[in-house]
Structure 1
Amino acid sequence: MKLTRDFLIGMVFAVVLSPLQAQTKTTGPSWVGSWAASQQLPEPQNSMPPEDLNDATLRQIVHLSVGGATLRVHLSNAFGFLPLHLTSVHIAKPLSPAAASIDPATDKALTFSGREDVIIPAGAEYISDPVSYPAPALSDLAVSIHFDLPPAEQSGHPGSRATSYLVHGDAVSAAELAGARKFDHWYQLAAIDIAAGPDAGAIVALGDSITDGHGATTNGNDRWTDVLAQRLQANAGTRNISVLNQGIGGNHLLTDGLGPNVLARFDRDVLAQTGVRWVIVLEGVNDIGGLTRLSDPPQADHEAFVRRILASYEQIIARAHAAHIQVIGATIMPYTDSGYYHPPASNEADRQAINAWIRAAGHFDAVVDFDRATADPKRPDHLNPAYDSGDHLHPSASGYRVMGEAVPLTLFAR
């Protein structure tokens, strides 16, 4: 048989590539995100003076969704413009979700490539080495970070709805943080992963302040995403499904608000999340309300605006599908009489048009109708008073419970 040049070259490539292909087979654990928070550059009123993070320990408490026996922690320097050095990072079980106290017997140091300190490059995220650490589902975890020098721009999540604690000195293992400064923000902490079985998967909740939990109870873990996580854990068929809250208060589809716009943060907050298989999209109220907040533009502007909103949804769907992620659209909830947006009739018509598109077949893979779940039956352009936090825009804890209960668990059946 005559061997052609192309055939011989192909055989050489096959011999060279085969060992490499064998080496790339996954032999380690399957990971899934159990907790996460969207990173942004904190606004001036939500950032700390740099001197506060000079030789300081920051203890932050997060609430996991799925549990497991091995975990790893993601630290963020996403908005820093210089490398960030952290001298030590410890985890422990807090005695309460609303206090800095930990059980010292559970304190454990994280490592990064075997070392206890880490240097995170500018604009980057860093993942700790896996650590054997039993972490039950729906439990709390304290993460204590020691800074020798402050970050060159903080990366964080202002809307934590959870209290963090700061003291000077290296107190990462301290059972108590006497005299700690308290604030309801997270800094430099991006996610917690759990080693799970191959059937585990994560749901990313992509949204604005309604997903972030404005109006929820501080340290109460009663956002709609928390309610959904509780329901998933209560159902034997979905206990391996986690919920990652990637809401940012004031977020927009079309422009930067508080934090980057949705398409600008989509890669980091959705595609890069560990084990993500579904994304629930609840975005748009800040765009719609902002259109008419100061004045009502001509009808042509409303029509062009709605087209841009729908095009943004199409971009989300296309990018998620390219990564084999199912996209669940959530209808935009009513907010007539909101003291912030004062929506006129034309604004309500935009909301109705957008919601009709979300509900229509052939767009999202599935729909969660938060609009119908939370609307006042007598005045469907208003939030139900029983679910209203009082500003006619954000739900109360009762409203968040109704939202969490409105998500069909059958969407996540395997």
Structure 2
Amino acid sequence: MRKMCRLIGLLAAVCLSGTAVAQDKPYWVASWATSQMVPTNENIAPAEDLTDATLRQIVRISIGGRRLRVRLSNAFGTAPLVVSAASVALSADNRSSRIVPATRKQLTFGGAINVTIPAGADYFSDPVEMIVAAGADLALTLHLPSPPDRQTGHPGARAHSHFAHGQQVMAETLTGAKTSTRWYVIGGVEVDAPGAGALVILGDSITDGYGVQPNTNARWPDRLAVRLRANPSTRDLAVLNAGIGGNRLRLDGTGPNALARFEREVLTPPGVTHLLVIEGINDLGTLTRDAPATPEQHAALVREVIGVFHQIVTRARAHGIKVIGGTIMPDGAFAYYHPDAANEADRAAVNAWIRAPGNFDAVVDFDAAMRDPANPTRLRPDLDSGDGIHPSIAGYQAMADAVPLSLLAARRK
């Protein structure tokens, strides 16, 4: 009998140990991410600013967790990139380089404080034991001995980044820092959040937040994240902004086309359960930006745009991701694209396909929410930033409000 009791006790201990291991196993979910591209023109950081340089960049995570890890990116580099030291901390003020000293943690990479990121690659830090809350502002700080041979970054940060010389990754405030509104080298933050999921919003400058002032976090995905956190059925769903200004579905522009970046930005982040696609206006507009197009060219464009949407839906569904289509909003007052009746017919044809049952798993009708009832080819005046294509701050809030939260209720892969 004593042997039997010991055996039962041993089995119970093993089971409890197994439960503890299972409970402690990380459940990584992307909480913040940004789309990577090759900076051009004024978005290229001067080589001097990235030589023996400490970069402190502020990002707002959308869900919290019990530990985190940081993803660095050399996705478009053509040579290895050395990061000699890195840290993470809570930002004390997202307008400055000041951090909360008690929260600072040195990042390591395979136990080492430095890392060499291969050309074309991303690199995760080791997990950091750091409890972070949803909506927290994190300061990600890196020291670069030398500038990248070709930079990888995101110009539309809509947040201040801070650049200083010397190794200052653990400093409370950077000495001699200058500011920028662009992100470099950083690609994502992932948190250990059992049961959580993530929504990727694949878009262009409207999603990237054109017109949003630095550090205000007033892009429509930011406002949607606030709504999600306030709702019990969606509060554990992260929002990942995969918007690039000028982005197109079919052709490269300021950044890779949507289909080319799909795998890195939709399939690679862990925990993605939902995808919302709101692209196409730049494909439609650039057709006639420089010269009129023939009816055959208009018809071919519509076919190709729909073809890319179909590819995105097929690939996302293959990975168990719910795919939501966002209708294309009006641009009738955006003179740069010279929109006419043929362009409007193209937009109507694409939107009809998006709305048709079965093509997407669900639809958010941004067109209906944002158009002027008196002139449906234009944005509603109070929701228009003034250029005829980009929403105002009130317009971005209206876009966030137009998303039915029922579409984003818990769905686990």
Instruction: Give distance in 2, aligned partners of 1:179 and 1:333.
Output: 44
Q: What pairs up with 1:113-124 in 2 under 5 angstroms?
A: 113-124=110-121
Say if 1:328 and 1:366, in contact at 8 Å, map to a contact too. Answer: yes
- Cα offsets for 1:24-65 (capped at 9, x unmatched): x99721111110000001112201122221110000000110
Shift, 1:339, TM fit: 3.2
Shift, 1:223, TM fit: 0.7
Secondary structure (helix, strand or coil) at the match of 1:268 reads helix
- Cα offsets for 1:251-284 (capped at 9, x unmatched): 0111001000111111101110121111100010
Shift, 1:76, TM fit: 0.2
Give the letter for the 2:173 counterpart.
Answer: E
Say if 1:90 and 1:109, in contact at 8 Å, map to a contact too. Answer: yes
1:404 aligned to 2:405? no
Instruction: Give distance in 1, aligned partners of 2:386 and 2:252.
Output: 26
Give the letter for the 1:137 counterpart.
Answer: A
Instruction: Give distance in 1, aligned partners of 2:294 and 2:114.
Output: 57
Shift, 1:94, TM fit: 1.3
Structure 2 partner of 1:272: 268
Unaligned runs of 5+ in 2: 1-21
Structure 2 residue corresponding to 1:289, chosen from 285, 290, 293: 285
1:166 aligned to 2:155? no
Structure 1 stretches of 4+ with a deviation exceeding 6 A read none
Q: What pairs up with 1:307-386 in 2 under 5 angstroms?
A: 307-386=303-382
Q: 1:258 to 1:383 in 2, by over 3 A?
A: same
Secondary structure (helix, strand or coil) at the match of 1:269 reads helix
Instruction: Give distance in 2, aligned partners of 1:98 and 1:51.
Output: 23
Structure 1 partner of 2:51: 54
Instruction: Give distance in 1, aligned partners of 2:130 and 2:386.
Output: 42
After TM superposition, the score normalised by the length of structure 2 is 0.92
Secondary structure (helix, strand or coil) at the match of 1:91 reads strand
Give the letter for the 1:114 counterpart.
Answer: G
Structure 1 partner of 2:70: 73
Structure 2 partner of 1:94: 91
Secondary structure (helix, strand or coil) at the match of 1:306 reads helix
Q: What pairs up with 1:27-38 in 2 under 5 angstroms?
A: 28-38=25-35
Instruction: Give distance in 1, aligned partners of 2:282 and 2:408.
Output: 28
Give the letter for the 1:73 counterpart.
Answer: V
- Cα offsets for 1:112-132 (capped at 9, x unmatched): 111111111110000111111
Instruction: Give distance in 1, aligned partners of 2:68 and 2:318.
Output: 28
Instruction: Give distance in 2, aligned partners of 1:176 and 1:72.
Output: 22
Structure 2 partner of 1:148: 145
Instruction: Give distance in 2, aligned partners of 1:395 and 1:108.
Output: 39
Instruction: Give distance in 2, aligned partners of 1:161 and 1:398.
Output: 17
- Cα offsets for 1:206-225 (capped at 9, x unmatched): 00000100022221001110
Instruction: Give distance in 2, aligned partners of 1:285 and 1:234.
Output: 31
Aligned length: 389
Structure 1 partner of 2:197: 201
Q: Percent identity?
A: 53
Secondary structure (helix, strand or coil) at the match of 1:354 reads helix
After TM superposition, the score normalised by the length of structure 1 is 0.92
Instruction: Give distance in 2, aligned partners of 1:51 and 1:97.
Output: 25
1:216 aligned to 2:199? no
Structure 1 partner of 2:389: 393
- Cα offsets for 1:49-102 (capped at 9, x unmatched): 222211100000001100112000000000011111101111111121111111
Give the letter for the 2:31 counterpart.
Answer: S
